[in-house]
Amino acid sequence: MNEEGKNLGSIEISDDVIAELAGYAASECYGIVGMVDLSLTSRATEAFGRKDIKKGVKVRIKNNQLYIELYVIIGHGMNMVEAVNNLMAKVKYVVEKHTDLKVASVDVYVEGVRI
């Protein structure tokens, strides 16, 4: 709604855009050294030399709230709880800041440790 209170239209943000935001946020988190590829199309894309930032991110929208799942690899010797808590907070902050949508949960699945 603009300042006069008139509705100018609607805005729709695709799940892929939200997944990209979450992926970028995750890539900047200390202790997170990788994301686990969950789809065959992402594997094919990566095999051709293009990085898919959405790799390891699932997004669901229910009742105008976001539910984000991240599948990550943690660096060896890292405090997993601290790294995951930082990741959850950063992803929630970045996605809410850029979309004005409420993030109901950020669930993180540690799929491996890289030595």
Question: In this structure, what CATH number is given to the domain that contains residue 69?
Answer: 3.30.70.1350
pLDDT in tens, 99-115: 999 999 999 999 888 88
The parent domain of residue 107 ranges over 15-114
For 68, the token pair is: 């984000």
Range of lowest pLDDT (11-20, 38-47, 70-79): 38-47
Which pTM does this prediction carry?
0.82
Q: Is residue 3 part of a domain?
A: no
For 40, the token pair is: 């065959």
In Å, what is the CA distance from 69 to each residue of 9, 23, 66, 102? Answer: 30, 11, 10, 15
Give the Cα separation of 42 and 51 in Å (integer): 9
**What is the four-CA torsion angle of 95, 97, 98, 104, rounded to 10 degrees?**
30
